[in-house]
Structure 1
Amino acid sequence: MSKIQRMSEAEKEVMQIIWAVGGSISSAWLLDELKNRNKDWKPNTVLTFLARLIEKGILTAKKHGRANEYIPLVSANEYKRFETRSFLDSVYDGSIKKFISALYEGDDLTKDEIEDLKKWFSQR
C-alpha cells in the first residue's frame, strides 16, 4: 500500500460514495449525488475535498476536456487496514494482543465472540 494519510470525516463521506460506485466519477456526478443525499456542500468545498484526497494519495484525477474524472487509488478495505493499523500503533503500541485483552478485560466480548475468535485463529 502506498503512503496514504488519514481522511477527515467529510472526506470519508466523499470516498464512501466513490467506493460504492466501484469506478471513476466526475465532480458533476458527485455533486448531484451529494445533493440527493441532502448534503448542501458548495461545489468549491467538494472540489477542495477532492484535491485533498489527491494530495493524500487516495484519489487520482484524469482530465477529460474541462472536467476531471476521479479514480480511487486506495480501496475501502485498504483504507480500513490503514486506519486499523494506525489505531493499533497509536493506542496499543501495535499489539493486537493488547487490543483484544482490553476488550476482554472490559467485558466487551461475549462468550460467542470469544469462541468465534478462537475458531478464526485456529483456522489461520
Structure 2
Amino acid sequence: MKLSNSEEQLMQILWKKEKAFMKDLITAYPEPRPANTTVATLLKRMQDKDFIDYVQYGRSREYFPLVKKKDYFSRQVNGLIKNFFNDSASQFASFFTKETNLSQDELEDLRELIDEQIEKKKT
C-alpha cells in the first residue's frame, strides 16, 4: 500500500518524532500549517492503511508509526524499479548514474558500496 504525497509528508514527521500527539505533528509542519481537520483526516487514512496506530490518553491520542522508514523506502524503490525499469536494477542504476549528475567522488562512493555488497554476497 502506498501513501499519498500529503500522507507521506506527515509520515516523515512521525518517523522523525517516533511518537507524537496531533498538536506536535501540526507544529512540526512548515508554514502555512494544515488545519487540524486535515491532519486528523490524514491520520485516519494512514491508520486505515496500517501505517500508524495510537495510544489513547484521555481525550488525546499519541500516534506512532507501524512501518519503518527503511522498509517503506525499500518498497517504493523496488516498485519504481519494477514499474519504470522493467524490473532491472541495472537499467535503474544506468539511468540513476547518468541522469543525476553525480560527481566523480559520488560515483566512486557508489562503486565502493557496490563492491562491499558483492563481497558480502560471496560469503
TM above 0.5: yes
TM-score by length of 1: 0.78
Instruction: Spell out, residue by residue over 1:86-113, the C-alpha distance to the aligned partner (whole angstroms, 9 max, x if none).
Output: 1111111222111112345658455444
Report if the CA contact (8 A) 2:21-2:63 is conserved.
Answer: yes
Match in the other structure for 2:120? none
Matched, 1:48 2:41: yes
What number of residue pairs does the alignment pair up?
117
Task: Provide closer, same or farther for how the CA distance between residues 109 and 64 of structure 1 changes in structure 2, counting only shifts above 3 A.
Answer: same
TM-score by length of 2: 0.79
Matched, 1:28 2:41: no
- Which runs of no fewer than 5 residues in structure 2 stay unpaired? 118-123
Output the amino acid matched with 1:102. Answer: F
Structure with the larger RCO, 1 or 2 (CA within 8 Å, 6+ apart): 1
Matches within 5 A, 1:1-124: 5-21=1-17, 23-34=18-29, 37-104=30-97, 108-124=101-117
- Which runs of no fewer than 5 residues in structure 1 stay unpaired? none
Percent identity over the alignment? 26
Quote the RMSD (CA, aligned, Å). Answer: 2.2
Output the amino acid matched with 2:11. Answer: M
